[in-house]
Amino acid sequence: MRIVILGAGYSGTALALELVRLRPGLRPTLVESSARFGPGLAYGVSEERHSLNVRAGRMGAFADAPNDFARWSIGTADDAFSPRPAYGRYLEALLDAAHERVERMHGRAVAVSRANGEVAIRLADGRTVAADHVVLALGNPAPARPAFADAFGHHWVNDPWDLAARNKLAQRDGALLVLGTGLTMVDVVQSLRAAGHRAPMIALSRRGLLPNIHRAPRAWPPFLDDMQGAKLAKIVRRVRDEVDRAAAQGIDWRQVLEGARPSVQALWRTADPATRKRFLRWLRPYWDVHRHRLPRVPAVQVTRLRRSGVLRIEAGRVLAAERDHDSVHLTVALRGGGEIEHRVAGGINCTGPDHDYGRSQDPLLVQLLRDGLIARDPLGLGLVVDDAWRVVDAAGEPQAQISALGPPTRGAVWEITSVPDIREQVAELADRLTSGA
Which one of 5, 7, 345, 412 is in contact with ligand FAD (CB under 6 A)? 7
Binding string to ligand FAD for residues 344 to 363, with x set by CB under 6 A, is what?
A: --------------------
Minimum distance between the CB of residue 51 and ligand FAD, rounded to whole angstroms? Answer: 7
Minimum distance between the CB of residue 396 and ligand FAD, rounded to whole angstroms? Answer: 25
Eight-class DSSP state of 83: B
Minimum distance between the CB of residue 2 and ligand FAD, rounded to whole angstroms? Answer: 17
Report the C-alpha gap between 97 and 113 in whole angstroms: 32
Minimum distance between the CB of residue 403 and ligand FAD, rounded to whole angstroms? Answer: 13
* Span near ligand FAD by CB under 6 A; candidates 163-171, 212-220, 305-313, 411-419: 411-419
Report the C-alpha gap between 248 and 177 in whole angstroms: 42
Q: Is 434 in the site for ligand FAD (CB under 6 A)?
A: no
Name the maximum alpha-carbon separation found in the chain. Answer: 65
Q: Quick one: CA torsion of 149, 151, 157, 160, rounded to 10 degrees?
A: -30
CB atoms within 10 A of CB 64: 10
Binding string to ligand FAD for residues 129 to 168, with x set by CB under 6 A, is what?
A: --------xxxx----------------------------
Q: Is 113 in the site for ligand FAD (CB under 6 A)?
A: no
Which one of 3, 4, 5, 12 is in contact with ligand FAD (CB under 6 A)? 12
Which one of 3, 5, 11, 133 is in contact with ligand FAD (CB under 6 A)? 11
When the beta carbons of 17 and 328 are compared against ligand FAD, the nearer one is 17
Which of 204, 181, 211, 210 is CA-nearest to residue 339?
204
What sign has the CA pseudo-torsion 154, 157, 159, 165? positive
Q: Is 9 in the site for ligand FAD (CB under 6 A)?
A: yes
Minimum distance between the CB of residue 437 and ligand FAD, rounded to whole angstroms? Answer: 23
Minimum distance between the CB of residue 273 and ligand FAD, rounded to whole angstroms? Answer: 25
Helix axes 253-270, 232-248, angle to 10 degrees: 160
Report the C-alpha gap between 356 and 327 in whole angstroms: 31
* Span near ligand FAD by CB under 6 A; candidates 39-47, 96-104, 307-315, 429-437: 39-47
Q: Is 411 in the site for ligand FAD (CB under 6 A)?
A: no
Minimum distance between the CB of residue 341 and ligand FAD, rounded to whole angstroms? Answer: 32
Residues 6+ apart with CB under 8 A from 2: 29, 130, 131, 132, 133
Q: Is 418 in the site for ligand FAD (CB under 6 A)?
A: yes
49: Cα within 13 Å, side-chain hemisphere? 13
Q: Is 109 in the site for ligand FAD (CB under 6 A)?
A: yes
Minimum distance between the CB of residue 299 and ligand FAD, rounded to whole angstroms? Answer: 14
What sections of 197-329 are H helices per DSSP?
232-248, 253-270, 273-278, 284-291, 296-307
| Whether the Cβ atoms of residue 294 and residue 182 lie closer than 8 Å to each other | no
| Whether the Cβ atoms of residue 407 and residue 413 lie closer than 8 Å to each other | no
Residues 371-400 that bind ligand FAD (CB under 6 A): none
Which one of 19, 28, 53, 298 is in contact with ligand FAD (CB under 6 A)? 53
What are the DSSP calls for 365-431, one per residue?
HHHHHHTTSS-B-TTSSSB-B-TT-EEE-TTSPEEEEEEE-SGGGHHHHS---SHHHHHHHHHHHHH
**Which region, left, alpha or beta, applies to residue 202 given φ > 0 means left and ψ of -120 to 50 means alpha?**
beta
Which one of 265, 401, 417, 434 is in contact with ligand FAD (CB under 6 A)? 417
When the beta carbons of 27 and 106 are compared against ligand FAD, the nearer one is 106
* Span near ligand FAD by CB under 6 A; candidates 150-158, 375-383, 386-394, 415-423: 415-423
Strands 327-334 and 339-344: antiparallel
- CA–centroid distance for 85 within its chain: 16
When the beta carbons of 136 and 175 are compared against ligand FAD, the nearer one is 136
Which stretches of the chain bind ligand FAD, using CB under 6 A?
6-12, 31-34, 40-42, 52-54, 108-109, 137-140, 364, 406-407, 417-419
